[in-house]
Amino acid sequence: MHPVLPFTIAALLFGIGVYGVIVRRNAVLLLMAVELMLNAVNLVFVTADATIRAAAPHAGQSFALFVIVLAAAEIGVGLALILQLYRLHRSVGVDEVELTEPNRPAGDDVEVSA
């Protein structure tokens, strides 16, 4: 098998993922674009492992498995953050998010003297 086709597909998938990260403003779609980039990297690892056997055997498959585990953890944490973001702001738009507490009354600040 020629490795050019899987490497080309991986490059296209990674490019689509980068485009999705740059253009999308929805946090869920942003996570999907990041997952697309991670899957493109997995395709490169497995293709390199299948074509280049000079290094350690099955190193590409091991790296791909490690990336899959990290991607699963990233999706779990990312979806939890997006769910909390939606509960607080009633929106998952990345450009609409403020990193302050929403709907906080103006005179509610408490000063602590030492």
pLDDT digits (tens, 9 = 90+) for 11-65: 999 999 999 999 988 888 989 999 999 999 999 888 888 887 766 777 778 888 8
Residue 49, domain extent: 25-95
Question: What's the pLDDT at 105?
Answer: 60
pLDDT digits (tens, 9 = 90+) for 8-21: 999 999 999 999 99
Number of domains comprising the chain = 1
Q: Is 56 a domain residue?
A: yes
- pLDDT confidence of residue 37: 93
- CA 32, CA 104: separation in Å to the nearest integer? 32
CA pair distance 71, 113, nearest whole angstrom: 45
Q: Is residue 108 part of a domain?
A: no
5 part of a folded domain: no
Beta bridge partner(s), residue 93:
26
SS3 content of the chain, % helix, strand, coil (to 5): 70, 0, 30
CATH number at residue 90: 1.10.287.3510
Residue 83 lies in a domain: yes
Domain assignment present for 84:
yes
Residue 14: its pLDDT value, please?
Answer: 95
Selected residue with higher pLDDT from 100 and 15: 15
